[in-house]
Amino acid sequence: MARMSKENVARFFALLAAERPDPTTELDYINPYTLLVAVVLSAQATDVGVNKATEPLFRVADTPAKMVALGEARLRDTIKTIGLYRTKAANVIRLSEMLIEKHDGEVPANREALEELPGVGRKTANVVLNVAFGQPTIAVDTHIFRLANRTGLAPGKDPRAVEEALLAVVPERYLRHAHHWLILHGRYVCTARNPKCPSCVVSHLCLYAAKTTVDDPARPAKAAKAVTPSPARRSSRRGRVSSRQANGRRAPRRARRPGAR
């Protein structure tokens, strides 16, 4: 696939930066620990759904010690509206115990230590390092993966390849917020179905061949039309009567053939 030129990559981020000067995560959190928990819970779940569950949770458990004291059973009950909540509850309790045992209850600011924690992979570690500690990491989720390939910004066959390609092409001055500019643009503009190309500020730089237009919005599937007889046909059907009916007599029933049922 064609790749965006270095000059256009710089223009691309300059325009996203102008549109959203101060992008940030849409997950609610209080401190690095609650951010870590929220990101772990967000796997295969929406930020909105996670925020609804963590709002009461973080009121009573905003540190590893408080979370361990809360216990796995009560944690499960609090987050049961989130997918995979049983596995996630077990991971949150165990990672909280590990933070107490190995890091004095603090969230480590390095990738290796983060990825040792249950439920924490490269993407989660990247989010925490970027949001909590200001490191220039890029967490490639489904939105960023789609956008990077679709636009020609940083094509790659898997999230790790896209991450490395983005780190190689994003100008240094934009690296700190690149993750959020891309995820928000992918979530709200460069959507999977019917991307909003007419209102996209970087549409003229994008190499996507199948751009939508003002006259080409997403169209819902057409429902099958019910076949309705024309008024003339309905009236002709209602007007059909036999000569016997017209004379007030019922038509006799047909005699059955021998053996017929």
Indicate whether 65 pLDDT > 60.
Answer: yes
Is CATH 3.90.105.10 correct for 32-133?
no
Catalytic annotation present for 141: yes
Digit-coded pLDDT (tens) for 212-250? 987 454 444 333 344 444 444 444 444 444 444 444 444
Q: Are 229 and 221 in contact (CB under 8 A)?
A: no
pLDDT at residue 257, rounded to an integer = 43
CA 26 vs CA 47, 108, 143, 162: distances in Å? 6, 22, 14, 22
* Ranges for all domains in the chain classified under CATH 1.10.340.30: 32-133
pLDDT at position 214: 73
Residue of 123, 157, 222, 225 marked catalytic: 123
Q: What is the value of pTM for the model shown?
A: 0.79
Q: Phi first, then psi: what are they for 58, rounded to 5°?
A: -70, -15
For the segment 255-260, the average pLDDT, to the nearest whole number, is 44
The tens digit of pLDDT for each residue in 32-47 reads 999 999 999 999 999 9
End-to-end Cα distance, the chain: 69
Tokens representing 99 are 């933070």
Dihedral angle of Cα 19, 25, 161, 185, to the nearest 10 degrees: -30
Q: Which two tokens stand for residue 242?
A: 């036999």
Average per-residue pLDDT for the chain: 87
pLDDT at 139 over 90: yes
Catalytic residue among 52, 62, 141, 158: 141
Position 218 scores a pLDDT of: 47
pLDDT of 256 reads 46
Nearest residue to 143 (alpha-carbon basis) of 127, 125, 119: 127
pLDDT (tens digit per residue) in 148-170: 999 999 999 999 999 999 999 99
Q: What is the CATH T-level fold of the domain 1-22+136-235, as seen in this structure?
A: Endonuclease Iii, domain 2 (1.10.1670)
- Please check the confidence at residue 16 and state whether its pLDDT lies above 50: yes
Query: Which residues lie closer than 8 Å to 54 by C-beta, 6 or more apart?
Result: 27, 28, 29, 34, 37, 38, 41, 79
Instruction: Place 91 in a pLDDT band, splitting at 50, 70 and 90.
Output: very high
Per-residue pLDDT for 258 more than 90? no
Average pLDDT over residues 99-126: 97
Separation CA 49–CA 46 (nearest Å) = 5
pLDDT value at residue 228: 42
Model pLDDT, residue 2: 86
Give the whole-number percent of the chain exceeding pLDDT 90: 80
* pLDDT at residue 153, rounded to an integer: 97
Task: Give whole-number Cα distances, 11 to 38, 149, 171, 205, 235, in Å.
Answer: 33, 17, 10, 8, 68
CA pair distance 223, 193, nearest whole angstrom: 19
More confident residue, 253 or 167: 167
Asked if residue 182 lies in contact with residue 144, where contact means CB atoms within 8 angstroms, the answer is yes
